[in-house]
Amino acid sequence: MTARVLVTGAGGPAGVAVIRSLLGRSDLEVFAADMDGWASGIYLVPPTHRRLVPPGRDDDFVAAIARMVADDRLDLVISTVDVELAALAGRREELAPAVLAAPSQETLSVALDKLLLAERCESTGLTPRTVLVGPDAQAVDWEFPVFAKPRQGAGSRGVRMVPDRAALEALPLDEGLIVQDFLPGEEYSVDVIADASGSVVAAVPRTRARVDSGVAIAGRTVHDEELESAAASIAQAIGLVGVANVQLRRDRAGRAVLLEVNPRFPGALPLTIAAGVDIPSLVADLFLGREIPSSVAFREIASVRFLEDVIVEVDEVLVSAHAGHQEEL
């Protein structure tokens, strides 16, 4: 029986990867949506399946998705954008009868707040020391330099090096910053999928050889038991069901510890799919209530990214009233 699936965030690399994966299945009918009519992923699906949505922060966003569920008789909604996930997860019942393919609201809230994340995962022994800026941070005997970063936000936005105690004491108190131990080693991204019981089906570590705008554009998958085990432990600590990208970095002792968790599909997803773990397909089956394997193996493989154009007729381009807005993808 064919299921109808909506993928939002079709302008980002993760959205494009998810759409391409699901289009390869004959039992899924794929719809694509974005706030911008120039989003390339929209044009990977037939014209009848292309949709525009308000920005994820708009008050009407969830209602707009709910209307699409009814009008298009959707069975599954997959969002690839953080702000959309946060909005949808708290109101997922409004999407019925469609299912939202996303972790629970609690898991999202923890993962998207670096202080809460560190506190939740402290029992794993895999977190750097993490303290809120202010008196608590100033009371710690840090080994400088250390990092200060926003509690919320993805990538390296707002991250700053703190070279000494004077700089630590000068940090602003009104920006929601945390202070963490400096992690000087190599960084890895681990793509994780967990089943309905929270058991990890696959954890695929990737190197980040080249990065552009926070997305790895070149790298390789690696078999590394430490990285796979660490990512699985973190996923279980936050109660993950579905997909997340766990970022790890080696500390001064060379041990892999938690950097952050992105509870969504990663931009470098095509590499993980090519390595043998088709996460979008697995996630679709998981949230549609279909059986998925208890474990999926992967192979070591490398990738580089290139620019690809999607050519369409001029009258096919969707005009959006929200095209001037910027959304975090």
Q: 13-23 and 279-287 helices cross at what angle (nearest 10)?
A: 70
Report the 10 Å Cβ neighbour count for 21: 23
Mean of per-residue pLDDT scores for the chain: 94
Report residue 155's pLDDT band, with 50, 70 and 90 as the boundaries: low
Please report, for the chain, the start and end positions of each structural domain, with discontinuous segments joined by +.
3-102+310-316, 133-181, 184-304
82-86, 228-232, 274-278: the lowest-pLDDT one: 82-86
> Considering the entire predicted model, what is its pTM?
0.92
Predicted confidence (pLDDT) per residue in 135-151, tens digit: 999 999 999 999 999 99
CATH number for region 184-304: 3.30.470.20
20-29, 69-78, 150-159, 167-176: the lowest-pLDDT one: 150-159
Contact 180, 260 (CB under 8 A): no
User: Which of 28, 233, 11 lies closest to 125, judged by CA?
Assistant: 233
Q: Beta strands of the chain (E only): which ranges?
A: 3-8, 28-34, 50-52, 76-79, 99-100, 130-132, 146-150, 160-162, 177-181, 187-194, 200-207, 210-212, 215-220, 242-250, 256-262, 302-304
SS3 state of residue 83? helix
SS3 state of residue 315? helix
CATH class of 3-102+310-316: alpha beta
**What tokens appear for 190 in the block?**
């681990």
Tell me: pLDDT of 133 over 90: yes
SS3 state of residue 67? helix
